[in-house]
Amino acid sequence: MPHNDRPATLRDVAAAAGVHPATASRALNPGTKLLVSEETAQRVAEAAERLGYRPNPVARSLRTRRSHTIGVLIPDLNNPLFPPIVRGLEDRLAKHGYVALIGNTDLDTTREQMVFDQMRARHVDGFVLATATLHNPILAEAAEADLPVVLMNRTAQGYPFSSVSVDNEQGERAAVDHLASLGHTRIGHIAGPQDVSTGVARLRGFFDGMDGHGLTVDDAQVVTATGYSIEEGLRCGRELLETNRDLTAIVAANDLLAVGCYGALDELGLRCPEDMSVIGFNDMPFIDRLRPPLSTVRFPHYKLGTEAADLLLERIEDADSPVKILYLAPELVARGSTVPLAATTSADDGRDDESRLAANTVPLRRGVARRKR
Amino acid sequence: MPHNDRPATLRDVAAAAGVHPATASRALNPGTKLLVSEETAQRVAEAAERLGYRPNPVARSLRTRRSHTIGVLIPDLNNPLFPPIVRGLEDRLAKHGYVALIGNTDLDTTREQMVFDQMRARHVDGFVLATATLHNPILAEAAEADLPVVLMNRTAQGYPFSSVSVDNEQGERAAVDHLASLGHTRIGHIAGPQDVSTGVARLRGFFDGMDGHGLTVDDAQVVTATGYSIEEGLRCGRELLETNRDLTAIVAANDLLAVGCYGALDELGLRCPEDMSVIGFNDMPFIDRLRPPLSTVRFPHYKLGTEAADLLLERIEDADSPVKILYLAPELVARGSTVPLAATTSADDGRDDESRLAANTVPLRRGVARRKR
DNA sequence: TTGTAGGCGTTATCAC
DNA sequence: GTGATAACGCCTACAA
Residue of A68, A74, A98, A99 to mutate when probing chain B, most B C-beta within 10 A: A99
Residue of B53, B64, B74, B78 to mutate when probing chain A, most A C-beta within 10 A: B78
pLDDT in tens, B244-253: 999 999 999 9
Residue B21 preceded by cis peptide, ω within 30: no
CA A58 to the chain's CA centroid: 31
Nucleotides on chain D that have an atom closer than 7 A to a protein CB are: 1-5, 7-13
pLDDT in tens, A275-323: 999 999 999 988 988 889 999 999 999 999 999 999 999 999 888 889 9
CA A63 to C1' D7, in angstroms, rounded, equals: 8
Return per-residue pLDDT of chain B as tens, 373 residues.
334 467 889 999 999 999 998 999 999 998 888 888 888 999 999 999 999 888 888 899 888 888 899 999 999 999 889 999 999 999 999 999 899 999 999 988 899 998 998 888 888 999 999 976 667 888 988 988 889 999 998 877 788 899 999 999 999 999 999 999 999 999 999 999 998 889 999 999 999 999 999 999 999 999 999 999 999 999 999 999 999 999 999 999 999 999 999 999 999 999 999 999 999 999 998 898 888 999 999 999 999 999 999 999 999 988 888 999 999 999 999 999 999 998 887 544 444 433 333 323 223 222 233 333 2
Nucleotides on chain C that have an atom closer than 7 A to a protein CB are: 1-5, 7-13
Residue of chain A whose Cα is closest to the Cα of B145: A5
The number of beta carbons lying within 10 Å of the beta carbon of residue B75 is 19
Mean pLDDT of chain A: 87
CA A31 to C1' D2, in angstroms, rounded, equals: 17
Give the pLDDT band (50/70/90) at residue A200.
very high
B163: Cβ contacts below 8 Å, ≥ 6 apart: B150, B151, B152, B154, B155, B156, B311, B324, B325, B326
- Amino acid letter, residue B266: D
* Chain A hits for B84, Cβ within 8 Å: 78
User: What are φ and ψ of residue A84, in 5° steps?
Assistant: -65, -35
The minimum CA-CA distance between A115 and chain B, rounded to whole Å, is 9
Cβ separation A286–B291 shorter than 8 A: no
**Pairwise CA distance, residues B71 & A345, whole Å:** 55
* Chain B hits for A122, Cβ within 8 Å: 57-58, 99
The minimum CA-CA distance between B303 and chain A, rounded to whole Å, is 14
Residues 4-43 of chain B within 7 A of strand D, judged by CB, are 6, 9-11, 21-22, 25-26, 28-29, 31-32
Cβ separation B3–A291 shorter than 8 A: no
Q: Which residue in the set B100, B118, B286 is minimally distant from A286, CB to CB?
A: B286
